[in-house]
A = this chain, B = another copy of it.
Amino acid sequence: MNPIKTEIGYCTTERIYVRGHDLANDLIGKVDFIDMMMLVVLGRKCEGNERDMINAIMVTVMDHGLTPSALAARLTYLGAPEAMQAAVAAGLLGAGSVFLGAMENATLMLRDLVKSLPENAGDEQFLDIATAFYKDRRVARQTIYGLGHNIHVNGDPRIPALREVSQRNGYYGVHWRAMEQLEAVSGILGKRRLPINAAGAVGAMVADMQLPPTLARGLTLISRCAGLIGHVLEEQSSPTGQALWDLVLRQDPRNAVHS
């Protein structure tokens, strides 16, 4: 039998230890949320310019209004206002392959592409490899993550900002370049160029920071959790849940709608 223990923490009668640090004496009031998160998740505080990068990622993905995850949370809150954790959990459950989880998939895909790249590959060679990679995935009917957006059809406004943050902090590396090559390839091979989306940029950032791919999805879950708390608070003061339901019922004229 494996020993059942975690390196994350344990408690004695007198003390609580997190990653070997005394929580009360060494962490509370002394480290901030981001360092604590890195400590719990990776066993070490931020290094280099990681903090700015992580802040940028988390600011990017926190919220932008009535997304499916916000709607699922609000509709759940309507039925169970005594259990707001359930509304938040409902909102997180959609972070799968299509939406937020796509960031993890983009990280994995970029690491995969970059593996077949010779050291010191020039731009042309890079483009060739990206082209082959793109074609292979199309043939195998695998999603090419990180490209295209059905609202920001001319380019996702977050991408230049994320690129700038990455460059400023020294994390504009081979995965960012791979993502950009894929965008270029999409313009060459497809009907129209598919601009990089947030999943692509965050995927590249996590890969260029050499963080575990799981963290691409993980950071979005944490940040989106904050966004969902915002939706729950707004729902408390100016509820939309019932109106959402009525709006949907009204789409099918057979339905009577709540009076």
What is the distance, in angstroms, from A93's C-beta to the closest C-beta of chain B? Answer: 4
At the interface, yes or no: A240 with Cβ under 8 Å from chain B?
Answer: yes
Contact status of A75 and B79, CB under 8 A, knowing A16-B158, A90-B94, A154-B14: no
- Contact size range, A: 35 or more
Bitwise interface map of A from 4 to 43 toward B, beta carbon under 8 Å scored 1, else 0: 1111111111111110000111011101111011001110
Residues A65 and B217 in contact, CB atoms below 8 Å apart:
no
Chain B residue contacts of A151, Cβ below 8 A: 11, 13, 256-259
What is the distance, in angstroms, from A146's C-beta to the closest C-beta of chain B? Answer: 16
Nearest B residue to A86, CB-CB: B93
Residues A59 and B28 in contact, CB atoms below 8 Å apart:
yes
Query: For the complex, would chain A's binding face be called helix, strand, loop or mixed by DSSP majority?
Result: helix
Chain B residue contacts of A182, Cβ below 8 A: none
At the interface, yes or no: A244 with Cβ under 8 Å from chain B?
Answer: yes
Report A's interface with B, CB cutoff 8 A.
1-18, 23-25, 27-29, 31-34, 36-37, 40-42, 52, 54-56, 58-60, 62-72, 75-90, 92-101, 150-154, 157-158, 160-162, 164-165, 168, 212, 214-215, 217-219, 221-223, 225-227, 229-234, 236, 239-249, 251-252, 254-259
5 cross-chain pairs, A with B, having the tightest CB-CB distances, nearest first? A80-B96, A79-B94, A218-B229, A83-B83, A9-B65
